[in-house]
Amino acid sequence: MDETAKVRRVWDRAAPDYDRKIAFLERHWFAGGREWLGARATGRILDVGVGTGRNLPHYPPEATVTGVDLSPRMLAVARQRATRPVELREADAGNLPFGDGSFDTVVCALSLCTIPDPQAAIEEARRVLVPGGRLLLLDHVASSWPPVRAAQWLLERVTVPAAGEHFTRRQLPRVRAAGFTVVEVERLRAGSIERVHAQRPRD
């Protein structure tokens, strides 16, 4: 089974209980992150790794929203949650089914940690953004505090083989490598949570 198929299987299996299981982390570890994303997202928004749609309530009411995810079962939950018009599609973050310059904002929350090729996903985000468009990321990353980073490394010995979930990745260097201009970065919780606001340069 390739990595993409494994990730799809893992999140299909997790979908029915995902919201209940993540509720504590949302309140304490990721607190305020989705609101941070929503306050910066504008225009035509693409939510990559939309999951069960937890970002949807935070987007501006005037925005048009498209969400993609590998897992059809996660998307089914998102459809039930949606209280606004939103297009939800099964798609691979590394091979997005959209034309160049289709979106004003690309959001990816708590997903690059499991996407098999995060660099490809970030480069695809750049491709589908208009010049000057925004990339907004929220994820758990390698902590800036060595004891926490060591614990993350140990945790990965279980989570990477079982679910493809990484705790010691950091997306900021990949964002820069893809040619984005970094506008804003925040690190929280001993540097283990990172929020990134970057912009595709105007060609």
How far is the CA of 73 from the CAs of 4, 16, 86, 170, 199, in angstroms? Answer: 15, 8, 16, 28, 32
| pLDDT at residue 141 is higher than 70 | yes
Q: Name the percent of the chain in helix, strand, coil, to the closest 5.
A: 40, 25, 35
CA–chain centroid gap for 26, Å, is 14
Q: Report the alpha-carbon distance of residue 186 to residue 202 in Å, rounded.
A: 24
CB 74 within 8 Å of CB 13: no
The sheet that has 64-69: what strands, in order across it?
86-90, 64-69, 44-48, 103-109, 129-140, 193-199, 181-188
CB 74 within 8 Å of CB 66: no
Return the H-helix or E-strand segment holding 189: none
Q: Report the alpha-carbon distance of residue 45 to residue 60 in Å, rounded.
A: 10
Torsion sign across C-alpha atoms 114, 116, 122, 125:
negative
Can you give the residue ranges of every domain in the chain? 3-199
Predicted pLDDT at 3: 85
Six-digit token string for 114: 């499991």
Q: Rounded mean pLDDT of 165-178? A: 96
Model confidence at 90, pLDDT cuts 50, 70, 90, reads very high
Predicted pLDDT at 2: 85
Q: Rounded mean pLDDT of 101-107? A: 98
| pLDDT at residue 86 is higher than 60 | yes
CA–chain centroid gap for 175, Å, is 13
Q: Report the alpha-carbon distance of residue 114 to residue 163 in Å, rounded.
A: 8
Predicted pLDDT at 1: 52
The class that CATH gives domain 3-199 is alpha beta
Six-digit token string for 136: 């907004």
Residue 132: other Cβ atoms inside 10 A:
12
Predicted pLDDT at 59: 98
| pLDDT at residue 177 is higher than 70 | yes
